[in-house]
A and B are shown apart, each in its own frame.
Chain A
Amino acid sequence: MNAPDSKPFSTQFGHLGSEPLSIESMTSKEYFELEREKIFKKSWLNVGRVEDLPEPGDYRVQSIAILQSSLLIVRGDDRRIRAFHNVCRHRGNEITSGCGNARGFSCDFHGWTYSNQGELAFVPDEGQFFDLDKSQLGLPAVHCETWNGFIFINAAPKPAESLTEYLGGLGDQLKDFPFDQMVPMHTLEAEVNANWKVIIDAFQESYHAGFVHRLTAGDMLDPDSDDPYMHLSSVRLFGPHRSASVPMNPDYVAQNRPAEMLSYQLASSLWLQSGAMQQQFMPGTNPGNHKHWLFDINVCFPNFFVDVANGWFFTYHFWPIAVDKTLWQYRFYMIPPADAGEAISREYSKLALRDLLREDLNTVEATQRGLMSGAIKEIHLSDQEVAVRHQYKVVEQLVRG
């Protein structure tokens, strides 16, 4: 049965081991608090793309439970995007909420006013204060850098490395993908009753596809081929980040599904990208140069995915709320439709992935219930679940380190 070469990832990444893993990090409140301090308050975290804030003065407030913070992300009149704590220097009131466009922000409590570049511009009845140095009292800044149009923040007083250094090899792999040629098609969001890592796990292996997605993606697996379980084609580890390539079933046909077939005929779209096999792959994709390639899973540690394919990409954010509760968010981007035929085709792409994601989210809640029951103490991972193993190893090292 198990020929040695049927477990390539354990050879390639021998340092990760092969032992069962403890479930403590998925169920323990104490562990969750350690993750907050040792991971989330020190890592570069994605908070969207530059196109979200196209004009000077565009801003939005993002409350991030795991940071116990509300952040104001704003493009200043100088066009630079910055992040601040949404906290007034006077007595700590929150400055603003929601999103919009503003020249500045005025605190509701006593009217201290800040520019959209964060400087304290005006203090009512300033003469009553003692030695107030307004130049030192701008909004409390949060480190903010962009990479390829993605905005990241880092809540550490002094981040250990720049964003580019942090992204490392994952950034190199993705640097030429044409992110800026694609537009968001929709956003999906749910509060999911599961640990953030448990949810991530469901999106970084292909083992579950034939079971959880037997209806929505069952035809992606070919039981008569030499790859009946849709094995990952290749895996790359980049420090805390990871990347895996998922294969395409070359014999996929949407049998008895005329509407789905139509979506492939009308445009280069979701799975059957008109002649995907012969097509040139977009830069930043398929680094293993696999012949039958579907898409790459790209996990930017700790809580952000940028999965890329030929002509589309999507992001996931997993924002931890509690040890067993996570705000999950998905955004799907495609090349904008040029005509009605492409718009109709893209509509199918959108909803096919959407329906499939509801299968994943249902499963992870059931998994978390099982873990919380205390019935098992550890989980057993196959070679195919190397990305899952990598995540727990990275987290454990940071939490205990």
Chain B
Amino acid sequence: MAKIAFRDVTKTYEGAKAAAVDHVSFTVREGAICMLLGTSGSGKTTLLRMVNRLIDPTSGEIQINGIATTAQNPIELRRGIGYVIQQVGLFPHLSIEDNVRVVPSILGKSASETRERVDELLRLVGLDPAEYRKRYPRQLSGGQQQRVGLARALAADPEVLLMDEPFGALDAITRERMQDELLRIQQGVRKTILFVTHDVEEALKLGDQIVVMSDGKLIQEGTPVELLARPADDFVRKLLGADNILRQFEYLPVTAALEPATHNGADGAGERIAADTSLLQAMLRLMQSDATALTIENGDKTIAGQVSLASISRGLRAGGGHLVDAGVTPDVEPESAGDAAPVSR
């Protein structure tokens, strides 16, 4: 697994007045899914393509595992990075099998050596190898092509995966299914993933980390909960729909409406739930059971407090229709625009 660090990365296209990516700094943790979220033209694709050097930064640098990408041969670099492009870009003249084994084959592996790997990858992305191996891209639906695109990117087992709006062309239902599959696959493969999207729901659902971009600048970076609970400015607030109460309920953990425990939970009066349960789930539980409160339990089984419908509505009223998550550690201050803060580890 690999850590990716962006250090003051800037890209100004030849002849352009403004920078497409403007002094962007942040770090992606090993094995995390980092969502690059922003409106059209905000520089997401440019930022992504600088990682595998399809574009070189005008200034600043990108490090993978501490090594600057510019210190590496771009061809070698790209072979170690999976790349899923928005338009899928399967090779129409090659069979699905040959599409998937493209990178191993340019690395010199023969078809017989990669056969098992291809089958394994096709199964991983939910395609039956026996049925699809010998087909051609044009014989597949859009969603199936996306799956093959993902399998192809994973073929050489790269540590880093770049995905540029990979599900952009899919209908809402297929897209949701692919998102679920990606999360399932990620459970097993644990890649460090940079994922471009302009779909907020997608960013919130998939992201361990979200980087909000606007006009080439990094506006805010943090976990979905951090961004929802403490949007840095009105732009982020609007973009994320941070004022949308349902969305808060869905993504904020119960600790956002924490109140001191009135009973210790040992007397059986309250059901116990984990501290990272969403508010929405807690509310549903509360409404479906007789309990007036649920005991919130930390990971180490100690009791954090409790949550009740009353505490949730109190939290809402106090925040003026906005819950402030107590579980968000205050030391993760949101970065503001143009803030080239030192990259934390």
Report if A and B associate in a common complex: no
**B: which residues have CB within 8 A of A?**
none
